[in-house]
Amino acid sequence: CPIAVPGDPKVPVLYEVERTRTGKSFSVRSVKAIQHGKPIFTCQASFQLSQGSPVQHQFTMPSVPPPEDLLTQEELIQKFLQNPNLAERYRKHLTKIQAEDVPIDIKPVNPPDTFCLEPQEPKQFFWVRARGYIGETDMKVHCCVAAYISDYAFLGTALLPHRQYHIKLMVSLDHSMWFHAPFRADHWMLYECESPWAGGCRGLVQGRLWRRDGVLAVTCAQEGVIRVQEMPNQSKL
């Protein structure tokens, strides 16, 4: 799903749908989202009738602590803000994150003890779920919610080894998703994110959404533009 230009939430979106292919078991639709007479987003969606097959395998779900044993992102931020030695620029950054109204419950699996910007391996794990109750509804609703969830903090995984830089621009170029098994977006799922490569002002990230029972429900991939500038050398506190 390539993104052309940012959308305007105050303006209605016109969707043009092309029936690219209609087969016996697979169908493809191409969608163009238009605002102000210009395309802001294009999407190609592939649909398949449910079919059984003896050819089945998946990766093994990573072994991590359950969400009940972890703090939410809000609780972690509050913990960091209580540190009297936290530098003011970091305090402002965390306060800005705290003020965001994010409709997702997020529990980082391996958060640092204190807020810092030390380089890390380009891999992270979150327990995620939609806030509120969605229930046993059309699976397409849960897929839409998972698409929203999948974009949160995804591209930022590519920046974990490069935290000495200040982000000037970070925006998605394309975002792909493959839905493998039914799931509930309002139930806890483990989001495994990793970045195998970054360079040339671009970053590539891959992600997997796991159900709690170990079933791989969704696979994601995203490429984005990343432009940075080096930050002044300051204390990490």
Tokens 């970054």, residue located? 198
Q: At a CB cut-off of 8 Å and minimum separation 6, what does 192 contact?
A: 62, 123, 125, 207, 208, 209, 210
Average pLDDT in the 66-84 region? 89
Q: What's the confidence (pLDDT) of residue 144?
A: 95
* Residue percentage of the chain with pLDDT more than 70: 94
Q: What's the confidence (pLDDT) of residue 178?
A: 97
Asked if residue 4 has pLDDT above 70, the reply is no
- Could you tell me if 218 and 130 lie in one domain? yes
When comparing pLDDT for 116 and 147, which is higher? Answer: 147
Rounded to whole angstroms, the Cα distance separating 181 from 185 reads 12
Average pLDDT in the 59-88 region? 89
Is residue 165 helix, strand or coil?
strand
DSSP label at 2? B
Asked if residue 234 has pLDDT above 60, the reply is no
CATH number of the CATH domain containing 35: 3.10.129.10
Asked if residue 235 has pLDDT above 50, the reply is no
Q: Where does a domain end: 62, 80, 101? A: 101
Mean pLDDT estimate for the chain: 90
- Could you tell me if 94 and 108 lie in one domain? no
Rounded to whole angstroms, the Cα distance separating 26 from 22 reads 7
Structure tokens, 205: 């990230």
Asked if residue 104 has pLDDT above 80, the reply is yes
Name the amino acid, one letter, at 47. Answer: F
Q: What's the confidence (pLDDT) of residue 26?
A: 96
Q: What's the confidence (pLDDT) of residue 3?
A: 66
Q: What's the confidence (pLDDT) of residue 236?
A: 45
Average pLDDT in the 19-47 region? 95
Kindly list the catalytic residues: 151, 172, 222
Instruction: Report how many domains make up the chain.
Output: 3
- Could you tell me if 118 and 27 lie in one domain? no
Q: At a CB cut-off of 8 Å and minimum separation 6, what does 237 contact?
A: 83, 85, 86, 87, 90, 114, 116
CA end-to-end span of the chain: 39
Q: What's the confidence (pLDDT) of residue 173?
A: 92
Average pLDDT in the 170-192 region? 96
Asked if residue 176 has pLDDT above 90, the reply is yes
Smallest CA-to-CA distance from 201 within 222, 227, 221 is with 227
- Could you tell me if 155 and 205 lie in one domain? yes
CA-to-CA dists, residue 32 to 10, 29, 109, 151, 223, angstroms: 18, 10, 37, 20, 19
pLDDT digits (tens, 9 = 90+) for 126-136: 999 999 999 99
- Could you tell me if 230 and 114 lie in one domain? yes
